[in-house]
Amino acid sequence: MMQPGDPVKVCQSVVVFHHPQHRGQAFDLLGEQGEVVTVLSDWKGRVISPTLPVVVAFGKFRAHFRADELEPA
């Protein structure tokens, strides 16, 4: 299980359109390295099961991932 602060690397092709340097264009995060910010598991005290629970920061840019899309860096 990933913990906040863990360094991770994107190991599968994940295309985003909200990357600050490529806004509005498809940008593949494959190979990018970042740090786990949080792993979402509850909301206002209630257990939740989000589709993309792992929030990773790449500098100021953040994105949500599934655990199988990431590997330890």
Per domain, the residue ranges of the chain are: 7-72
Q: How many CA atoms, within 13 angstroms, populate the side-chain half-sphere of residue 56? A: 26
Confidence (pTM): 0.92
Other CB atoms closer than 10 Å to residue 59's CB: what's the count?
8
Regarding the domain delimited by 7-72, which CATH topology (the fold level of the hierarchy) does it fall under? SH3 type barrels. (2.30.30)
Q: What is the pLDDT of residues 6-57, one digit of tens each?
A: 999 999 999 999 999 999 999 999 999 999 999 999 999 999 999 999 999 9
